[in-house]
Structure 1
Amino acid sequence: MSSSRQHAPRVPAVRHGRLRRSSPWVTGAKIVAGALAVVLVSGASVGAYAVWDVVASSKPSVDLGKTPPPASIDEIKGGVNLLLVGSDSRQGQDPAIFGDPTKETGVLNDVTMLMHISEDHTAATVVSFPRDMFVPIPSCDKPEGGSYPAMASQKINTTLGYGGLPCTVKTVEALTGLDIPYAAEVQFSGVIELSNAVGGVEVCVAQGIADPYTGTYLDAGTHNLQGLAALQFLRTRHGVGDGSDLGRISNQQVFLSSLVRTLQDGKTLSDPTKLFSIAKAAVSNMTLSSSLNNVNTMVQIASALRNIPLSQIVFVQYPNVIVDKPGHNGVDPLPIPAKALFDALKADQHISLTGGTGLGSVVENPETPVDGTATPPATPGGEGGSGAPETPTTGGTETTPPASTDPSTPPAVIELPSSVTGQNAGEQTCSAGNKRK
């Protein structure tokens, strides 16, 4: 476990356990694009000023050497791969909340999420990579010139410190086999501002949460979280599941799924003032790749996402196994189920989860998901499982015929191995807190 940082007494220190905080990074990019799309099509002078104001608020971009921005605002052609990274840097953050930035010892990508939109825009998958997962890291360029050597095995959360956002992109590309032309980085303040702009996110807590490390104390029930409370909920590790960062990921997915449902709520999408606030909050707190730092591109991505049903917006955790040996405080990738997952994404097949929601969450009512679709019952590794998924001997199982070139033919659905946990946005899940009565 990494060492703790010192913070002002007002908020407990951020500790380097197995993951750390997260937030609507994935949905953040979607928020920006959706809001800008609404403002653009308004055609009013106020809308024109709003777009200018949002764009003027954006930070300098990062060059990934990827696809140039499109010229039109039509719906983007083909699929989309977008990496969202949550940085733990204190630079530019409120020192009263996050501590003295001059005492920062390094920058880590404590949250790494890959959003894949299918070619036909009928499904979106968000893959969370455990921060302490040991992976190969390719050679990455140093900001001051030269390059870092490639490493055979290092924690994925160190990539941002080695070579910035481009290094994290290169590492995830090598790990998944997917080309990633778009990327964004967000800090703590971005989570606070985004949750405020959307008016808070309702989360269900099945068992109470008591975490003195983040100051998160929630009784069982439903809570509307925004601002610092939302950030601390997303950061909590000790308060959910078995206290690991693997449990934290599934707890974050409870928040993200609810956030997606909030954004698809007509009251949010039909409120230009709220959408403008969301867009500005996201852009002003994100560092975007140059390929993404373009109004047209963001509008195109929003157009690709707008008609995807909740049941086909799926949040998954990269399959992994806990390795208990000296000097190896983390997890290793599980290559067989990972191959099943990414082969399905590359082929634009819809995925079905069989492994439960993960250690940090439970299904509130398996019989009645939010969007009315059937939800499979949780299996070991989901609701209170061991946290060390069983390694399958085969890949995913195809449950419908392969995709056809005929647009009227539904895409194939691949049933993933039980070691792949997660949920879709149509499922109502609750945080599995560790405060038992």
Structure 2
Amino acid sequence: MARRTGSARAANARSSSASLSIQPVPLSTNYLNNRRRRGGCHVPPSGVTIARPRAAHRRASLRQSKRDNGERGTTISRTTARPTPLARHGRQSSPHPFRAVAGFVAVALAVVAVSGASIGAYAAWDVAASITTVTLASDDEAAAVIAAGGDAPPEISAIDGGVNLLLVGSDSRTNQGDAYGEDEGGELNDVTMLLHISEDHSNATVVSFPRDLIVDIPECPEGGGYTAPINESLSQGGLACTVLTVEALSGLSIPFAAEIQFNGVIEMSNALGGVPVCVSEVIDDPFTGVYLEPGTHPLMGADALGFLRTRHGVGDGSDIGRISSQQVFLSSLVRTVKSDSTLTDFGKLYGLAKAAASNMILSQRLASPDTMVSIALSLKDMDLSKVTFVAYPNYYADWVPEGKVAPDTEAAGILFAAIQADQPVAVAAPGGIASVIDPNAPVTADPATPTDAAADPAAPTDGTDPAGPVDPDAPVDPAAPADGTTASGVTVLPDSVKGQTAADYTCSVGNP
């Protein structure tokens, strides 16, 4: 069956209105009513090559191979003198520049969520009404717009119940300018993130799926029904096909989805005034032109874009390492937006909302401004330590093509069982292949541990332990958390699941 190009699909999505920022994309009837529950990835016998019967699949693989080897554009020539630790960018294309989409998780986690209900409603109302000439700097300015003839924004509260929302980043260059190379036709979802908000709005989990994860792609409008990297799902039926793929992989129902354009990360980081990112070791990537020395850098605009693009410059040079580095940016982004200075800067909040909405294509159920704001408001008061970023567990296996990874279905089963049960999750230790704990992170006192508590009158005064010496052969407390166990209502994930919370201050690690 013929495959739509990225240009054709994007043009069709925008044909209804030249000025309306929010572009709805209907999800298929099969997705809405007859979801395919195909479970995890089929594991072929060792040594069996995965067939890709269609020429389109071979072209997609060739494109992927070229990108992996940096053949899409010319390499930036670098000089040895680097007087300032800022990211340097050329106008060349590079492998998978759409890593910038990671910053757009803030659409759900931060943009409107951290503002008051009235500010969030005004922002969404203005975007939906295509009012592009008014900057929301105060309630008075918004009231003046209404007095000039606009309709009053709705009163919106947090959404009832939990939320599963899929965020997809396409590598299409349609309407993105010439800074990212030529559009080769077709689309790959090189960034795929699932946001889950618990029913009581007490915790949220963001799962990043590696682009090279080998999965079963279900039958979709333009193909599918075979085993391939997850980033081929978008080309087999658009956003709805990627939703079907992640539903089958996770066992979750996903009623909301968004496809995001990569220019917006520049606009969003500019609207924030920069996102502080810690670097522990030099990041030097000739493919994206990024050079960052150790230290903390306020990244915005093209610098933020370049940091999120880099793969060769961080960790072990893999996409798994890139996800780990992106989580450093994401956690700092959420902290920045939830900071007091951002919450009181209405113009900054409004700029974030506009930048996000103008670079997104939304599913029908998400296209309503009321829905967007109500989902966002469910996160407004969530504690940073309850927002957890994790990578889908994976491993290198003999049965997958070189450079690809297999799903760790056992560890993933623990992760998604916790999500299905609305339990918060915790990683064994924050960090990953390309991130480490920031040694200069601010120390926050545990509110559950008072520092000025009165001395226990029964405690000995000679410095001895009233409990006596510890027996090294004593049995371990069965209530102590271990991989996959639940302690105090929190599921402790296996060591193979890497990630961190928004409260964890981490640094990105360069690729030596």
TM-score range, shorter chain: 0.7 to 0.9
Q: Shift of residue 368 of structure 1?
A: 5.7
Matched, 1:55 2:96: no
Report the CA distance shift for 1:233/1:41 in structure 2 as closer, same or farther (over 3 A).
closer
- Give 2:316's aligned amino acid: D
Alpha carbons 2:158, 2:378 under 8 Å: kept: yes
Q: Shift of residue 30 of structure 1?
A: 3.6
Q: Shift of residue 37 of structure 1?
A: 5.5
Q: Shift of residue 34 of structure 1?
A: 3.2
Please give the alpha-carbon distance, in whole angstroms, between the structure 2 residues aligned to 1:239 and 1:11.
18
1:9-63 Cα offsets, whole Å, 9 max, x none, are: 733432259x955422221234443378655578xxxx5xx554411459xxxxx
Matched, 1:93 2:163: no
Query: Which residue in the other structure is 2:165 paired with?
Result: 82
Report the CA distance shift for 1:41/1:219 in structure 2 as closer, same or farther (over 3 A).
closer
Q: Shift of residue 369 of structure 1?
A: 5.7
Query: Which residue in the other structure is 1:107 paired with?
Result: 187
Report the CA distance shift for 1:270/1:366 in structure 2 as closer, same or farther (over 3 A).
closer
1:44-98 Cα offsets, whole Å, 9 max, x none, are: xxx5xx554411459xxxxxxxxxxxx9722211111111111111010111x11
Q: Shift of residue 7 of structure 1?
A: 4.2
Query: Which residue in the other structure is 1:130 paired with?
Result: 210
1:202-232 Cα offsets, whole Å, 9 max, x none, are: 0000001000111110000000111111011
Matched, 1:242 2:316: yes
Query: Which residue in the other structure is 2:474 paired with?
Result: none
- How many correspondences in the alignment? 377
Alpha carbons 1:360, 1:432 under 8 Å: kept: yes
Query: Which residue in the other structure is 1:228 paired with?
Result: 302
Q: Secondary structure, in 3 states, of the residue corresponding to 1:140? A: coil
Please give the alpha-carbon distance, in whole angstroms, between the structure 2 residues aligned to 1:162 and 1:149.
6
Which of 54, 60, 65 is the aligned partner of 1:2?
A: 65
Higher strand share: 1
Which of 147, 156, 167 is the aligned partner of 1:73?
A: 156
Q: Shift of residue 433 of structure 1?
A: 1.0
Q: Secondary structure, in 3 states, of the residue corresponding to 1:89? A: coil
Percent identity over paired residues: 51
Report the CA distance shift for 1:239/1:149 in structure 2 as closer, same or farther (over 3 A).
closer
Q: Shift of residue 273 of structure 1?
A: 0.9
Please give the alpha-carbon distance, in whole angstroms, between the structure 2 residues aligned to 1:243 and 1:182.
32
Q: Shift of residue 366 of structure 1?
A: 9.4
Query: Which residue in the other structure is 2:225 paired with?
Result: 150
Alignment of structure 1 residues 259-278 onto 2, 5 Å: 259-278=333-352
Alpha carbons 2:168, 2:258 under 8 Å: kept: yes
- Give 2:376's aligned amino acid: A
Query: Which residue in the other structure is 2:485 paired with?
Result: 397
- Give 1:92's aligned amino acid: N
Alignment of structure 1 residues 249-398 onto 2, 5 Å: 249-324=323-398, 327-365=401-439, 396-398=484-486
Report the CA distance shift for 1:369/1:338 in structure 2 as closer, same or farther (over 3 A).
farther
Q: Which moved more, 1:325-334 or 1:166-175?
A: 325-334
Alpha carbons 2:483, 2:495 under 8 Å: kept: no
Report the CA distance shift for 1:171/1:72 in structure 2 as closer, same or farther (over 3 A).
farther
1:90-143 Cα offsets, whole Å, 9 max, x none, are: 010111x11123xx143111110001001111100000000000001111123x
Alpha carbons 1:126, 1:316 under 8 Å: kept: yes
Please give the alpha-carbon distance, in whole angstroms, between the structure 2 residues aligned to 1:373 and 1:113.
32
Report the CA distance shift for 1:367/1:132 in structure 2 as closer, same or farther (over 3 A).
same
Q: Secondary structure, in 3 states, of the residue corresponding to 2:311? A: coil
Q: Shift of residue 328 of structure 1?
A: 4.0
Alignment of structure 1 residues 179-218 onto 2, 5 Å: 179-218=253-292
Query: Which residue in the other structure is 2:95 paired with?
Result: 15
Q: Secondary structure, in 3 states, of the residue corresponding to 1:253? A: helix
Alpha carbons 2:239, 2:257 under 8 Å: kept: yes
CA RMSD of aligned residues (A): 2.6
